[in-house]
């Protein structure tokens, strides 16, 4: 569950502001960027919600591999790792204790394998 504070931070990440009790009417804007309207906040809510779910999603090494196995992707990933010359991907695969949904290398690996955002979300239990 996210709050109005999360959505404001999502749509205006470099802005300065204060709000009381998650009430838009108490929003004090202290930034050169334009203050978001309540409608803009409401419209951005679904995108912000998925972003924060992804941002907070972390799986242990074992849970990530089990999720890959259950989805039928584990062998494809193993085959890719065995054939790649990208040392960074090899090190991360072999030595990571956990996998973060929004880690840039994980996203790059998924893209190289042709996996969609929705497939990645499913691995991390994001509906």
DSSP letter for each residue of the chain: ---HHHHHHHHSTT--EE-STT-GGG-EE-SSSPPPPHHHHHHHHHHHHHHHHHHH-EEEHHHHHHHHHHHT-HHHHHHHHHH---HHHHHHHHH-SEEETT-HHHHHHHHHHT--HHHHHHHTT--
Residue 123: its pLDDT value, please? 97
Please give the structure tokens belonging to residue 16.
């300065």
Q: Do 113 and 64 lie in a common domain?
A: yes
The residue behind tokens 């960027």 is 33
Residue 65: its pLDDT value, please? 97
- pTM, 2 dp: 0.84
Q: Do 84 and 27 lie in a common domain?
A: no
Please give the structure tokens belonging to residue 110.
């998924």
What percent of the chain is predicted at pLDDT more than 90? Answer: 98
What total number of domains does the chain contain? Answer: 2
State which residues form the domain around 22: 4-56
Q: Do 75 and 109 lie in a common domain?
A: yes
Q: Do 16 and 44 lie in a common domain?
A: yes
Q: Do 43 and 62 lie in a common domain?
A: no
Which candidate, 42, 43, 15, 10, places its Cα nearest to that of 29? 15
Please give the structure tokens belonging to residue 103.
């880690």
pLDDT digits (tens, 9 = 90+) for 17-56: 999 999 999 999 999 999 999 999 999 999 999 999 999 9
pLDDT digits (tens, 9 = 90+) for 81-101: 999 999 999 999 999 999 999
Beta carbons of 89 and 81 less than 8 angstroms apart = yes
**C-alpha 65: how far from its chain's center?**
18
């Amino acid at each position: 569950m996210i709050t109005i504070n999360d959505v404001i931070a999502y749509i205006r990440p470099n802005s300065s502001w204060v709000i009381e009790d998650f009430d838009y009417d108490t929003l004090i804007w202290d930034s050169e960027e334009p203050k978001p309207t309540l409608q803009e906040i409401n419209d951005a809510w679904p995108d912000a919600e998925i972003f924060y779910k992804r941002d907070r999603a972390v799986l242990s090494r074992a849970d990530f591999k089990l999720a890959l196995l259950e989805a039928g992707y584990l062998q494809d990933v193993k085959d890719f790792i065995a054939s790649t010359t990208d040392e960074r991907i090899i090190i991360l695969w072999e030595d990571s204790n956990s996998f973060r949904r929004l880690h840039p290398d994980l996203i790059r690996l998924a893209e190289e394998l042709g996996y969609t955002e929705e497939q990645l979300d499913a691995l991390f239990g994001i509906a």
